[in-house]
Structure 1
């Protein structure tokens, strides 16, 4: 029943919704759809949004065989190649105007990673060598311009000169390095390695797993530290529940793709501790809270956090079938998603966030630079591919 409900949400709501945002005139996909379901055709087009849409339609095609999704993926790929990619300095811009001109030309490592993630998937699905070549061009930029001896740097101007990392800092902090960027570089390189098995990318994955286990992971608190100075010293007292549960299964996936027994053993000790801790402190019996900042629990229910929590706990259950508490948590979170997160209004998809009582009081957008089909779409793909049901 569960897997059928997930398939129905994917095929009857999520995929048709995102197909409707195709911009036939200027390319790519429209960048903003407000809470009241008004389409803003002249809104900026976030490159992260476009990369995630490219990834989404590619994986929709490989998961359910919808050939129309492959055409949508090609549309997103052409927009990335022709407009998002900086032909002079390399890498992808942060955002574009509605008609495909650079709006914010900064280069962010996080943004470059999502382009690699999408391009790698697209190459894996189509065999289009051009997409793989572009992915490797961005990969080389990250490794030569966006990394030092202790971690991945974050924000740069168009020519890859460092600038303040305002895009991925929060809570009054200005971080030089972040767990979030490391996680999504790892995710991107996992996909690049999956489709091409480049030994150097495999070594990069090992280096990042050492970073997670030996630098970011706080063994006493069973959390991944989030914000860091230039020397990878933590500068915040923050436990991001969504990122920790997401990291738990993405790291497990990286180990699976890499196939290194020693790293799989090493990293399972970390990922299982993260899962267990989030179950204890972040899960409220129905859904996952957002975060703990200096001892204050943010009970906001965010769409992507629920999707990652469902997937993270089900992944934990598959790895350790005796942990039926993970399965139970997955079941209740799916029920919460069905009841509250999925927007029942015609012409909508999932709400961005809800208050602790399940009401979308923030009235945040349904589509925007960060609101995309990546988290909920990926949750659906993973459930289908893994054959998880009850």
Structure 2
């Protein structure tokens, strides 16, 4: 399995995303449809560009191939010149040639820029890059939160907007689990790479506060799941069990706690959090692992049995994480079965393609784009890095 995943990373995922580089207008092309028709003039989403920057930076850190750093450099240049404003953060999207198209400042988007810049700093070591990540951290803390936690969508002047970009299933949320999770992810990496002790403590304090918020307000202990969409007081707006986000959170939260180390979390809270992450892994295994693959979500008690590319990826990492914590073979078996399913059903065998966005319960792919603002190398690329690292001594 590890050799197959290594081959998938090196010989399929990396070459595919290299092929999306736009040398004429900068950045990477924003749309490759299901028929593999490339639209060179499609808008370029900042989330996609951030995730591509993160991917090539992480690939360089892991593999040491200098050409990978060149691709990260290319993504960074486009972010800095076309998407990032020192005073008001990163926009939502730009045109194919780098003109601002949607100036929305979304907290989720700032998080991915922090995540990408932090990884890029690990790769290139340039202080200016870390400074840009820290500028965004301070911006988020000043503009994108209230006393209760993180808010969602703003205009360029940080006046609140309706959160239509990260609300689904018929609700409009004031707060979302998804934004909180990816702020957590970004701050974890920023904490890791920050050397200045005083700044590190600032980041660590915010990260620990967010962990407590997730533990106390986002996680439902009775249902052993995270709630997804909230009003300002953290009242859940919908009966939705997002299996993919829960298994993703199970390992990202553990990573955050491990990265923080001693001195930030009360021991009792830390114990609750570690129990929470294992409970989420066990609960998703019970409810979402069906016929060797991982289904999408459950709304009002009805399962959506779609298999989605990022959900399979995060499930593999989440179960690998649970295995290393418990040594329970059921988790390792789940990683193997999802990988076998992914090989047969999620990976597109057509030349010039990558992974399907989703397939139905019979394995038939939906005709959704192979690349678009949300379809990226972040989930499946990260799965490859994480599984190879976590299980290399096990298999």
TM-score, normalised with respect to structure 2: 0.96
1:201 is aligned to: 203
Residue 298 of structure 2 aligns to a residue in which SS? strand
Pairwise mapping of residues 192-341 of structure 1 onto structure 2 (< 5 A)? 192-197=190-195, 198-260=200-262, 262=267, 264-321=270-327, 323-341=328-346
Moved more, 189-198 or 241-250: 189-198
Alignment gaps of 5+ in structure 2: none
Deviation at 1:236, TM superposition (A): 1.0
Check the 8 A contact 1:53/1:372 in 2, yes or no: yes
2:69 is aligned to: 70
2:152 is aligned to: 154
1:41 is aligned to: 40
Report the number of matched residues: 386
Q: CA RMSD in A?
A: 1.0
| Structure 1 residues 229-267: Cα deviation after superposition (integer angstroms, max 9, x where no partner) | 011111110000000000000001111111137354331
Cα distance in 1 for residues equivalent to 2:110 and 2:163? 14
Check the 8 A contact 2:33/2:368 in 1, yes or no: yes
Check the 8 A contact 1:302/1:354 in 2, yes or no: yes
Deviation at 1:312, TM superposition (A): 0.4
1:179 correspondence with 2:181? no
Check the 8 A contact 1:256/1:264 in 2, yes or no: no
1:369 is aligned to: 373
Check the 8 A contact 2:293/2:312 in 1, yes or no: yes
Residue 311 of structure 2 aligns to a residue in which SS? helix
Residue 367 of structure 2 aligns to a residue in which SS? coil
| Structure 1 residues 159-214: Cα deviation after superposition (integer angstroms, max 9, x where no partner) | 11100000000010000000000000000000000101511111111101101111
Moved more, 264-273 or 188-197: 264-273
Deviation at 1:386, TM superposition (A): 2.2
Cα distance in 2 for residues equivalent to 1:365 and 1:357? 20
Pairwise mapping of residues 98-113 of structure 1 onto structure 2 (< 5 A)? 98-113=96-111
Cα distance in 2 for residues equivalent to 1:294 and 1:203? 36
2:57 is aligned to: 58
